[in-house]
Amino acid sequence: MAMDEYMLSLEGAFLRFYGWDGIVLSYGKSKKEKINPNDQFCAANNITKIRRPSGGKTVLHQYELTYAFSADQDLFPTSIIETYRLISQPIISCFQNLGLKVQMSPEKRQHSESDNCFREISSYEISINNKKIVGSAQYRKGNRFLQHGSILLNIDWDLWYAIWGGSDLPGSMETRITSLSHELNEIPSAIQLTEKLRAEFELSFQRKGQPYNFIQKELEKIDELEKKFRDFY
């Protein structure tokens, strides 16, 4: 999270893919839980809670691939949802190349009392058979923006219901949410998926990506930023 926020201070476009150490619940930048995930269960099972620099509802990071995309706003439409649409397109192309029939939601927003990000489909988010598979959130600062996205590789339903069971009846989340494992009948390799997604981003934006190596001074700044994203039990 600290590294993603640091990207907001740089110039140009940056794309990161990563996973998480342990099970983590991330909360949107300014959001307080309206409906608390099961705090007692989370504490007992070493599930960490952190803030994201981006907005949106709560995301469970377990069997998923996270992406972070940061760029200058003047390279994209002024509309946040139009920016969502452009960033969603290479992800859709990647999924289509895997043989999946993917939909991009229209410009609308479904509302839910649940704080589970995947419980509702927002404008230009990605779904399969009306089941959400990618959750995204964006934050703008100055002339820069940061978009986070969570791509579900697999789902431990017992864990999801243990955390959000108070607001969802048994079996109800399976009608709204899906994963690549379910759709492909196999658990995809996060590394292979990352390479496919990277290639689609390069093709979509007609830019060849180059590795970015942080220097020591940058890593020190990132360490300072990290303090504000640590858990907040």
Task: Give the residue numbers marked as catalytic.
Answer: 117
Is 175:167 a contact under the CB 8 Å cutoff? Answer: no
Q: Which DSSP string do the residues of 64-101 spell out, in sequence order?
A: EEEEEEEEEGGGS-SSHHHHHHHHHHHHHHHHHHTT--
What distance in Å separates the CA atoms of residue 220 and residue 214, rounded to the nearest whole number?
Answer: 10
> Which of 38, 48, 56, 23 is CA-nearest to residue 167?
38
| Cα separation, 116 vs 27, whole angstroms | 10
Helices within 75-215 (DSSP H only)? 80-97, 157-164, 180-184, 190-205
Rounded CA separation 130/8 (Å): 33
- Whether residue 197 contacts residue 67, with contact meaning beta carbons closer than 8 Å, is answered with yes
Alpha-carbon gap, residue 99 to 170, rounded angstroms = 30
DSSP code for 51: E
CB-based contact 120:56 (threshold 8 Å): no
